[in-house]
């Protein structure tokens, strides 16, 4: 049964974003926190005893609903300005659940610089389910127009910034164009890179927002999770149906971990973002081609600033030579070599998009010498010193004198 109440936050004063992240409301009428525990308890149970032989109570079975997950989902709906939010087992699950809104013969329009796993899912749907995806450069809303079909287009899937090229698209303009031409189409934004602390796509015209909760929302690389936030009640019911039918709702323990992580999102993101800005400035000062929406040199600096309250903590840069980039990555001592981002450590990475075939990467202008930096909360001076020595060791930087920009 569906136990998650709609977000009921209109009844009280709204605080500033960092406060709202910490302040967890008790879902109205949920009876989910009988003892007023300051930290929402973990309801580690698969099933719930009933008092009636004919009617089920608020909760009956954890696949269908669990009080710990309800608290989390209610909190997520609030911070994402959604009518309802759902917590599932991974970011890819969130994307898969949303993709199930598309029927065979319908179409998707998606960016050409999407996370590799999303690209893999869309390729699977194309090959096996007769669901075609048109990949376009979403930085230019005009290029979407020729692919819009009044009845066939079902989803328009956007990332902004994109992973890993850090391209920006205009959520409001694209939403208006698509909604006007295709009443059946839904705008889906993967907001993983920004987190709801920095950007709220539902307020900009999107219909559905998804997150890999594995990243900033949880923040410690100790959890896999996904989030789906929805504006429309009918769409939300369809999403809930799929989650219950397929059994991919987030477990009670992971729901508790994610709720705990969300409370510290603002402090982590503020520090990570400030570190990222210093590192981007350092790299640009030394002549590297850096893509980071906090730099005025980013071609969509102003558009990004209009849509969000900060540039985030992921940036990418090129060295001009693939083997030099590999040496840079391998020469760092402090920066771990690992995929994923959003954690409290930092990592250089050119592995996350290995699932996109080399030919497709080339066709979409994905530079093989790209290094993606996912900046953590360490002392920025240590991160810069380590990056500097790695650049010098790899021969990417001739001048080994460490100058701050
Ligand atoms: C932008 C983006 N969306 C979705 C995902 C998928 O999330 P998860 O790994 O939690 O399945 C990832 C990374 O994996 C990602 O970087
Ligand atoms: N082997 C994984 C790669 C995951 S990449 C994780 C993350 N989204 C990132 O961008 O670093 C796979 O095949 O999905």
Torsion of CA 158, 199, 27, 251, to 10 degrees: 50
Alpha carbons 139 and 116: distance in angstroms, whole number: 18
Token pair belonging to 47: 């099933």
Q: Which of 160, 212, 372, 374 to mutate to test the pocket of ligand 1 (most atoms within 8 A of CB)?
A: 212
Residuewise pLDDT in 10s, the chain (405 residues): 544 444 444 567 899 999 999 999 876 555 556 788 888 999 999 999 999 999 999 999 999 999 999 999 999 999 999 999 999 999 999 999 999 999 999 999 999 989 999 999 999 999 999 999 999 999 999 999 999 999 999 999 999 999 889 999 999 999 999 999 999 999 999 999 999 999 999 999 999 999 999 999 999 999 999 999 999 999 999 999 999 999 999 999 999 999 999 999 999 999 999 999 999 999 999 999 999 999 999 999 999 999 999 999 999 999 999 999 999 999 999 998 888 898 888 877 766 667 778 888 788 778 889 999 999 999 999 999 999 999 999 999 987 666 655
pLDDT of residue 363: 81
Q: Which CATH architecture has domain 266-393?
A: Alpha-Beta Complex (3.90)
Alpha carbons 93 and 91: distance in angstroms, whole number: 5
Atom 8 of ligand 1, nearest CA residue: 91
316-356 pLDDT, tens per residue?
A: 999 999 999 999 999 999 998 888 898 888 877 766 667 77
Token pair belonging to 357: 């075939």
Which residue numbers are catalytic? 63, 115, 190, 215
Q: Which of 161, 164, 189, 214 to mutate to test the pocket of ligand 1 (most atoms within 8 A of CB)?
A: 214
Distances (CA, A) of 211 to 27, 99, 228, 293: 22, 14, 7, 20
Which of the listed CATH numbers 3.20.20.80, 3.40.50.1980, 3.40.640.10, 3.90.245.10 matches domain 9-263?
3.40.640.10
pLDDT of residue 404: 55
- Domain boundaries of the chain, sorted by first residue: 9-263, 266-393
pLDDT of residue 11: 62
Alpha carbons 136 and 134: distance in angstroms, whole number: 6
pLDDT of residue 30: 57
Alpha carbons 63 and 402: distance in angstroms, whole number: 55
Ligand nearest to the CA of 111: 1
pLDDT of residue 348: 73
pLDDT of residue 295: 98
115 lines ligand 2 (CB under 6 A): yes
150-177 pLDDT, tens per residue?
A: 999 999 999 999 988 999 999 999 999 9
Which ipTM value was assigned to this complex? 0.97
339 lines ligand 2 (CB under 6 A): yes
Hey, is 5 helix, strand or coil?
Answer: coil
Distances (CA, A) of 230 to 52, 77, 183, 236, 251: 33, 8, 17, 6, 20
């Amino acid at each position: 049964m569906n136990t998650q109440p709609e977000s009921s936050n209109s009844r009280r004063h709204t605080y500033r974003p960092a406060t709202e992240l910490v302040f967890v409301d008790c879902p109205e009428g949920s009876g989910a926190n009988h003892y007023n525990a300051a930290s929402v308890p973990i309801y580690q149970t698969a099933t719930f005893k009933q008092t009636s032989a004919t009617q089920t109570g608020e909760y009956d079975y954890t696949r269908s609903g669990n009080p710990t997950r309800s608290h989390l989902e209610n909190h997520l709906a609030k911070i994402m300005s959604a009518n309802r939010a759902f917590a599932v087992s991974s970011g890819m699950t969130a994307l898969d659940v949303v993709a199930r809104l598309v029927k065979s013969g319908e179409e998707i329009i998606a960016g050409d610089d999407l996370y590799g796993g999303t690209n893999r899912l869309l390729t699977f749907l194309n090959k096996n389910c007769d669901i075609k995806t048109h990949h376009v450069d979403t930085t230019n809303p005009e290029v979407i127009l020729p692919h819009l079909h009044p009845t066939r287009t079902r989803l328009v899937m956007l990332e902004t910034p994109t992973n890993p090229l850090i391209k920006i698209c205009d959520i409001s303009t694209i939403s208006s164009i698509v909604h006007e031409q295709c009443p059946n189409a839904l705008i889906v934004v993967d907001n993983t890179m920004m987190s709801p602390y920095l950007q709220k796509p539902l307020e900009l015209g999107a219909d559905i927002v998804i997150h890999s909760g594995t990243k900033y929302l949880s923040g410690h690389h100790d959890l896999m999770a996904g989030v789906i936030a929805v504006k429309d009640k009918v769409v939300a019911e369809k999403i809930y149906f799929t989650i219950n039918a397929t059994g991919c709702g987030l477990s009670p323990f992971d729901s508790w971990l994610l709720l705990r992580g969300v409370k510290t999102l603002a402090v982590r993101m503020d520090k990570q973002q400030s570190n990222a800005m210093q590192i981007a400035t350092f790299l640009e000062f030394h002549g590297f081609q850096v893509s980071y929406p906090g730099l005025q040199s980013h071609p969509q600096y102003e558009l990004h600033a209009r849509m969000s309250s900060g540039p985030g903590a992921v940036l990418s840069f090129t060295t001009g030579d693939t083997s030099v980039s590999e040496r840079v990555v391998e020469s760092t001592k402090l920066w771990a070599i690992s995929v994923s981002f959003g954690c409290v450590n930092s990592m250089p990475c050119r592995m996350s998009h290995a699932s996109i075939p080399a030919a497709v990467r080339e066709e979409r202008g994905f530079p093989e010498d790209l290094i993606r930096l996912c900046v953590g909360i360490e002392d920025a001076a240590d991160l810069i010193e380590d990056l500097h020595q790695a650049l010098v060791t790899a021969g990417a930087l001739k001048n080994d004198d460490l100058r701050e920009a």
